[in-house]
Amino acid sequence: MVSTNGNGTTLLRAVKPFKTGWKVEIKALHSWTQHSSYGGGDTPEFILADATGDKIHCTCKRVFTPRAKKHMQIGQWCFIENFALTPATGKYRATSHKYKLSIIGSSVVTSSSLKNDDSFLSLTSYESIINGSLDSNFLIGTTQCTDVWRNAIEFGFELEIHSSIVNKCAQEIRKGAASVDMVSLPNYGWSVPGTLQEDLLSKMSAPPKSDAPLITSNDLAEADAFVFGFPTRFSMMDAQFKAFLGATGGLRRTQQLAGKPARIL
């Protein structure tokens, strides 16, 4: 099995804790801050991937944060030379790698010119999640995006999945509104912007998006009344519509929507 790249770096699958003098070329896929009550304070955490798609959890003490964050930007490739490896144990592990990578005092992080826009999704079948064959110690659907997205999104991303139902209700309401004197309607309905990237939607085999134009906060300001239609997830507003409403803070602060009648279907 190949364990090195042509540029002299080692693949993540081959690194082991018997030494610290490794050099890897990686892409930062995700980062977050881990709260700690110890003297070292909060620590930045990363999910890193190499060119083959193998992933590893990386942690960095606060004192080493500046050198790490300078080049370990999300979506950017970089080299990490000299680092420690410890066994990845416990529950809620962010990757399936046997080890966790730690930035240490002798670590050197430099930028790489590699261009590769792959998001390195590791898709797991929904059936294996349901039948309990997966190791429950590993997280899925967050840092390791899996096919659970496909089924969860088919349930939660209903603005797209069940758009025909919403559209049918909207058309009936339009017919009723059009029958009222002095009511002027646009020639089309609106849809809210999605929150998922196109490459992720294609990998989830999501249905085509609606041809309806995307609504903006300016459109709300110009309207005299509203009828909003959206599906629910666990009896709550779907994430896409919630994100749209969250972006209308300017209208609320200036009271541009005050007094306008609204209906929800």
The second-level CATH assignment, the architecture, of 12-111 is Beta Barrel (2.40)
Phi, psi of 214 (to 5 degrees): -80, 135
Bridge partners of residue 262, in order along the sequence: 226
User: How far is the C-alpha of 174 from the C-alpha of 178, rounded, in Å?
Assistant: 6
- Look-up: residue for tokens 């779907």? 238
pLDDT, residue 164, reads 60
* CA–centroid distance for 219 within its chain: 28
At the topology level, CATH places domain 161-264 in: Rossmann fold (3.40.50)
Q: Of 229, 255, 154, whose CA–CA distance to 196 is shortest?
A: 154
Q: Of 13, 79, 95, 6, whose CA–CA distance to 47 is shortest?
A: 95
pLDDT, residue 149, reads 37
pLDDT in tens, the chain (265 residues): 557 777 889 999 999 999 999 999 999 998 888 877 665 667 889 999 999 999 999 998 888 888 777 888 889 999 999 999 999 988 778 888 999 999 999 999 999 999 888 878 766 665 666 677 777 777 654 333 333 333 333 333 333 444 566 677 777 777 777 777 777 776 667 777 777 777 766 666 666 666 777 888 888 888 888 888 777 767 778 778 888 888 888 888 899 888 888 887 7
Helix (H, G, I), strand (E, B) or coil at 252: helix
pLDDT, residue 143, reads 35
Q: Of 111, 110, 230, 225, whose CA–CA distance to 170 is shortest?
A: 230
Contact (Cβ atoms closer than 8 angstroms) between residue 257 and residue 225: no
Contact (Cβ atoms closer than 8 angstroms) between residue 36 and residue 44: no
Region class of 92: left (phi > 0), else alpha (psi between -120 and 50), else beta: left
Bridge partners of residue 259, in order along the sequence: none
pLDDT, residue 20, reads 94
> Residue 159 half-sphere exposure, CB side, CA atoms within 13 Å?
24
